[in-house]
């Protein structure tokens, strides 16, 4: 143990991994969060741009370095997906009509993929759970009672 001031710190202390920071995204249960690809980063920035956002806000809310924010905002402005507006409050990035259209398409794809993962996970869990073959329906009172309680009441 290293002692620094009045705090003790282990010499084997490892920093916690930096979160991947997907804006509002969730990872299906049992899967590790993956590194974001460029499409996901663009979607995150477009999500923020729907309300108008500064580079600093993009940096923190999308969990990107300043260098990456610079690259992506320049790219998105050149492609006509974001427009840069300067005002008394500084420079803000807003979605263009084209950016809004892409944002809605990406949101729809994300929704479809989330439904796909949810259905896949549910069917996988059902296939693994022998109790689900015996009691496939939760519409009955017995179907809602955990199997351990059902077994205890039969004994």
Question: Residue 65: inside a domain, yes or no?
Answer: yes
Question: Residue 136: inside a domain, yes or no?
Answer: no
Question: Residue 120: inside a domain, yes or no?
Answer: yes
If one counts the domains in the chain, the total is: 1
Domain harbouring 97, CATH code? 1.10.10.10
**Can you give the residue range of the structural domain that contains 106?**
34-129
State the pTM of this model: 0.57
Question: Residue 144: inside a domain, yes or no?
Answer: no
Question: Residue 109: inside a domain, yes or no?
Answer: yes
Question: Residue 72: inside a domain, yes or no?
Answer: yes
pLDDT in tens, 70-104: 999 999 999 999 999 998 989 999 999 999 999 99
Instruction: Find, among 48, 129, 124, 119, the residue nearest to 82 by Cα.
Output: 48
Question: Residue 51: inside a domain, yes or no?
Answer: yes
Question: Residue 76: inside a domain, yes or no?
Answer: yes
CA distance 24 to 62: 10
Contacts of 121 (CB under 8 A, 6+ apart): 28, 29, 30
pLDDT in tens, 101-149: 999 999 999 999 888 878 777 777 777 766 555 544 454 444 444 555 4
């Amino acid at each position: 143990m290293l002692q620094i001031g009045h705090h003790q710190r282990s010499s084997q202390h490892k920093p916690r991994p930096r979160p991947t920071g997907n804006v509002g995204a969730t990872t299906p249960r049992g899967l590790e969060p993956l590194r974001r690809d460029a499409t996901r980063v663009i979607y995150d920035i477009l999500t923020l741009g729907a309300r108008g956002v500064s580079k600093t806000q993009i940096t923190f809310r999308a969990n990107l370095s300043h260098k990456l924010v610079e690259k992506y905002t320049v790219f998105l402005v050149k492609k006509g997906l974001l427009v840069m507006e300067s005002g008394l409050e500084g420079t803000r990035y807003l979605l263009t009509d084209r950016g809004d259209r892409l944002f809605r398409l990406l949101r729809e794809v994300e929704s479809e993929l989330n439904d796909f993962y949810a259905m896949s996970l549910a069917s996988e869990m059902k296939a693994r759970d022998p109790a689900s073959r015996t009691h496939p329906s939760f519409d009955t009172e017995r179907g809602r009672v955990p199997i351990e309680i059902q077994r205890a009441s039969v004994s």
